[in-house]
Every structure is written in structure tokens, then in C-alpha cells.
Amino acid sequence: MALSVRTGTAFRWRPTGLDGEASDVLRVIERDGVHLALLANGYASAFSTCWPPASRLILDLFVDEWSSTTGASRARLEAAFSGARRRFVEQSASSVLRDSDFLDEVPVAVLLAVVIEQSSVHMGWIGGDVAVVSRGPRVIASTTPHTLVEKVKREQPTLTDLSGIPNVQVRNIDRATAAAPPDLLSASVQAGDGVLLLSRAAFRGPCVANERAVSVAAAHESPAVVAEKLASIAFDEGDAPYSAVVAVRIDSVDGADRAAAR
């Protein structure tokens, strides 16, 4: 079965608030016909918004764990996530340079991992970054960020006014929840579909709202252009220390090209 995809990434950072590179928060990898797209963030303390040593560590660990797994992709995703989470908890306090202002704080991280294989997309996550699967201008699947707003929506479905609820993150990869599994979501895809990974804007939702992000993706053929435009929108219209986007365009699935899919 053939799978052909094109990818684009973009990273914007402010001169203050972040001293890092794109590879500290995002990775795109292709191995044996399977494509991995990853977004991560790390925190030195409850008061920080991005800490590259921790995000770089969780990404390195996930890629290492994935490389040692075999079998079905969704099972590999869950196993790699579990191994990376366990090793991060074991190593983060000693293997990354601690923030001198928060020596009593234990580093934490978040991770969004997306696996694209054949005609399926598998998503696993802990944290607030979002993955969106699109078909033209429509959202056909999306992850639900681990934020207080989403938690209240789920627990109090009749509550309509959420304006007073802070949109803080409520799940991290940390020592207190070392055994907690990620949420998992799978979706079927066809030629012409897209996948977007959107970093989280602090105290809000994804760096660009799902519907707007999909609209931009539908208007541009090149995933590199899509990623650049979305990262720029997020950076220009928000105040987050960084914005990171991965855009994927699926050109063929199981040997069917885009023209056939239409």
C-alpha cells in the first residue's frame, strides 16, 4: 500500500521568553513508510511558558522509544508514549539544567504525537497542543486539549457561560501522573486530506482556532506555505512566547492519487 505525503513546519519565537530552536518543540520523521509528526513543550515551573531543555528531552525520548517498538502503529504509539513518559519522569530532574530561580520545581512536559500510515491517522496526547484532520474546508477529526475549560465542558455540559473559567492546562507529563496514559484518537483519511498540529497559546486554545486553521489549509496547496501562514497568524495576533505548526498534505493513500480521490 502506498502513502505519499508532503509536510511543512514553521516556528516563530520572540527575542525574550524563549531561547530555543524549532527542533526543541517540533519534529517530523519518516521511517519505513510511516510518518511521525510531534509537538512538545516543557516547563521549568508552574510560572514558565516554555522551557526548551524539557521539551527537547521528551521529544528525544519519544523518538528513541518509537524506534524500539514493532507491530501495529496505534499500539506502537501508545507504547512509545508510555516509555517516553516514564523515562522523562526518571531523567528530567537530573539530566536537564535546572532553572536557578525554581530549584524546588520538578520539570514537566506535554507531548502531541501523530502517526500517519496507509489510510489512518493515529493521535496521542497529554497537554494542550491540538491535532486537526481536515478534508477541504471541514474539520473531520480533532484532539481535545487537556485544559480546564474542556474539563468543565465535559463535566458540566449544561453550563453555557465559560467566560469566567481560566483556560489553564490540567494535564502534564510529570511525577504525579507518571502512569497516566495519553488520550488516543484515530481517523481514516483519503488522498487530499490534511493534518495540522497547532501549538497552544498560553491561557487560550490552539495558536489558531481549528476552523480558521483548516480554512487557511484549504486555500493553499503547499503545506510549507500553510505552516508559515498559520505560525505567522498566531505570532502576529497573540502574545505567546512562540508558535509552532506542522502541516501535512496527503497526496496518495493506498495507491490512489488526488485526482482519483476527487
Entry pTM: 0.90
Comparing C-alpha atoms, which of 261, 98, 96 is closest to residue 192? 261
pLDDT of 262? 40
Q: Are 128 and 101 in contact, with CB atoms under 8 Å apart?
A: no
pLDDT, residue 239, reads: 78
Domain range annotation of the chain: 3-255
Q: 143: closest CA among 160, 162, 121, 159? A: 121
Residue 187 CB contacts under 8 Å (≥ 6 apart), including other chains: 120, 121, 123, 133, 140, 141
Question: Parallel, antiparallel, or unpaired: how do β-strands 138-142 and 183-188 relate?
Answer: unpaired
- Dist CA 253 CA 261 (whole Å): 9
Question: Mean pLDDT for each consecutive 10-residue tract of the chain (262 residues)?
Answer: 88 75 94 93 74 91 96 95 92 67 73 95 96 97 92 89 84 81 95 96 78 96 97 87 94 62 40
Query: For residue 257, which of 177, 192, 185, 179 has the smallest C-alpha distance?
Result: 192
Which pLDDT value is given to residue 242? 87
Helix (H, G, I), strand (E, B) or coil at 246: strand
Q: What's residue 141's pLDDT?
A: 97
Dig out the grid coordinates for 35 from the structure.
510518518
Task: Report the b/e string of 213-249 with b at 16+ CB within 10 A.
Answer: bbbbbeebeebebbbbbbbebbbeeeebbbbbbbbbb
Topology (CATH) of 3-255 = Phosphatase 2c; domain 1 (3.60.40)
> Which residue has 516543557 as its cell numbers?
42
C-alpha cell of residue 76 = 506502537
Label the pairing between strands 108-117 and 34-43. antiparallel
Residue linked to cell 497568524: 233
Residue 224 is classified by DSSP as H
Contact 133, 189 (CB under 8 A): yes
* Helix or strand holding residue 124 (H, E): strand 120-126
Task: Return the biggest CA–CA distance within the chain.
Answer: 58
- Res 167: pLDDT: 81
Residue whose C-alpha cell is 493515529: 122
